Structure 1
């Protein structure tokens, strides 16, 4: 696939449609998008095989808007990125709900703690795409807090009375996202 991306970028370069710096950014974005699509597809297959596909998709829907704006740990290689993502989802869907009993008060404490961590530590950005503008950083921070609050509202309002599996995995996906922001700050 990378050769197709390179061919496309070369064609844009030869036709002088974009400056070289924009072509490099375009290639980077296309490579990231391709890698994310492949990773997501493999994760879908794994969680389908584990009979947790519905939880995986629900957690992804909760996580995506928070992760987009709060950022997090970024791995350099594709395999380490895949393993990190698998561990991330496995903690929230397979491991933590089995290890730790979740009641309403514990869930509220975890959500408040996660919200505080997301407010303090976001955004964690990739070294490949630094954000230097302080106004943009604040905007990302507030947007990630908003989506965390929205996710909490959905969890407490719609999943808690109907499906504890979705409720618990949803809480854990937000908690794991929040705590990996701390790791992202320490490692970055």
Structure 2
């Protein structure tokens, strides 16, 4: 349904604009599909976490994830439904379990912060088959932005967040995002 809607909009654009390049039209279709898929997924996730009473943790986790992931990359599913399930499995521990975890030794948080920065430094931006990064300059900009947002969130978490549940929620979000950047053997995902 989402793909058909994106194709109809692209068809409308093709017939009512000067854009005629097949490549440009494919990019428009892909972008529309990505936007609609994200909207669909976000509405479902908000509903789920609202129902289980963890919407505030979900939104906090999502804010951290999106500000890092958009530049660092990560695992991508092949279908909207598999992406939705993967997202549910991603946000459940960050939103649900973080409230049950006690405050850990601060050394643990600093070690996780340092390891996260190192993984981002060496592994981001993580390649995506559908949106390859061809320019070295773009790769450097994405790396810089992913490092910047990761360090920014780690500073916010370590220096300003006093609520243990939000601290654990933020750290688990960063940890799960960074774990997607670590090289995996073929066939793992």
TM-score, reference length from structure 1: 0.90
1:28-43 superposed matches below 5 A: 28-43=30-45
Q: 2:7 corresponds to which residue?
A: 6
Aligned length: 186
- Over 3 Å counting, the alpha-carbon distance change for 1:183 and 1:100 in structure 2 is farther
* Distance in 1 (alpha carbons) for counterparts of 2:179 and 2:99: 16
* TM-fit CA distance, 1:95: 3.6
Q: 1:127 corresponds to which residue?
A: 129
Q: Determine which structure has the larger helix proportion and give its number.
A: 1
Give 3-state SS (helix, strand or coil) of 2:147's partner. helix
Q: 2:51 corresponds to which residue?
A: 49
Deviations 1:81-120 (A, max 9, x none): 1111111111222246646762322111111111111111
Q: 1:93 corresponds to which residue?
A: 95
Identify which range, 166-175 or 15-24, moves more after superposition. Answer: 15-24
* Distance in 1 (alpha carbons) for counterparts of 2:104 and 2:183: 24
Deviations 1:3-51 (A, max 9, x none): 3322221122234521222111001100110000110111111111111
1:1-188 superposed matches below 5 A: 1-18=2-19, 19-95=21-97, 98=100, 102-159=104-161, 161=162, 163-183=163-183
Does the CA contact (< 8 Å) of 2:100 and 2:165 recur in 1? no
* TM-fit CA distance, 1:55: 0.6
* Distance in 2 (alpha carbons) for counterparts of 1:9 and 1:144: 31
Does the CA contact (< 8 Å) of 1:121 and 1:185 recur in 2? no
* Distance in 2 (alpha carbons) for counterparts of 1:185 and 1:116: 20
- Over 3 Å counting, the alpha-carbon distance change for 1:97 and 1:181 in structure 2 is farther
